[in-house]
Structure formats: C-alpha cells, structure tokens
Amino acid sequence: MIDEVDELFGRSGDAARVRVGPVIAVLTFGMILITAGLAISVVPGVIVVLVARTMVDKEAERLRNGFLPADSGASVRGLRIASTIVLLLAAIALFIQGWMVWSGLYEWWIYRLLDMVGWLHGLPDP
C-alpha cells in the first residue's frame, strides 16, 4: 500500500520526469536549420523551434496539473528560458534574412554561390 502511495506522489524511482532530452534535441535541430537556412530559408528552423516551444509548454502544463514532481519546476523553468532565447534568435534570423532580401545582398550572395558551384554559365550578372 505504501509503495502505491509513493508512486502516486512521485516518490519512487518510476516517477514521471521532465522530458529534457527531446526538447533540447528539437531546439538544437531547429538552431541548425536556422543557421543553415540563412542561405535559403530560415522558416523550417523557426517552425521546428516553435514545435520545441510547444513541447516546453506541455511540460509546464504537466507540472501545473501535478503529473510531474514539484521539484522539477527548475527544469521546466530552464527549458522555458532556453526555448525563449532560441525563439528570439530565430526572430533575429528572420529579420536578417528579410534585410538580406530587401537590400539585394541575398541575391548577390546566391549568384556568387551558384557561380562558385558552376551553375550559372551564360547567365547575366544582376
């Protein structure tokens, strides 16, 4: 009987834990997509970061509803801070890419990149 009560309140070894690993993996993958996406599009990376933020919100909801032990609040808070920082970096990357398109730098850079690869034989310079 005592073991069942301990399991109910998360005092046993089988207690629910914050899913830190998957959230960090998705955030990292989103940052990689955003960094690589500056060459083409950062939107897929931003979408992945938003999915990670949704995962963090689900963990916070699990904590509020009592499915997680009370001492896991620090982990959820840390995940929330990390996801907010990555989300801000994603917004900055969107602005940088928008500025690159608006200023013509993006087009110039893409032409130079394609020229280095050798795909622009015979196309006029912009």
pLDDT at 90: 93
Asked if residue 125 is part of any domain, the answer here is no
Asked if residue 123 is part of any domain, the answer here is no
Q: What is the number of structural domains in the chain? A: 1
Local confidence band at 114 (pLDDT 50, 70, 90 cut-offs): confident
Q: Which helix (H) or strand (E) holds 102?
A: helix 73-103
The percentage of residues in the chain with a pLDDT greater than 90, rounded to a whole number, is 41
Residue ranges making up the domain that contains 8: 2-117
pLDDT at 55: 93
Q: Residue 26 pLDDT > 90, yes or no?
A: yes
pLDDT at 1: 53
Asked if residue 15 is part of any domain, the answer here is yes
Is pTM beyond 0.75? Reply is no
Find the distance separating the first CA and the last CA of the chain, reported in whole Å. 77
Asked if residue 124 is part of any domain, the answer here is no
105-122 mean pLDDT: 76
Asked if residue 126 is part of any domain, the answer here is no
C-alpha–C-alpha distance, residues 16 and 72, integer Å:
10
pLDDT tens track for 77-104? 999 999 999 999 999 999 998 898 899 8
Tokens of 7: 């399991």
Asked if residue 25 is part of any domain, the answer here is yes
Nearest to 67 by CA among 1, 12, 8, 3: 8
Three-state DSSP class for residue 120: coil
pLDDT at 63: 87
More confident site: 108 or 9: 108
Q: Residue 15 pLDDT > 90, yes or no?
A: no
As a dihedral over the C-alpha atoms of residue 10, residue 14, residue 17, residue 23, rounded to 10 degrees, the angle is -160
pLDDT at 79: 92
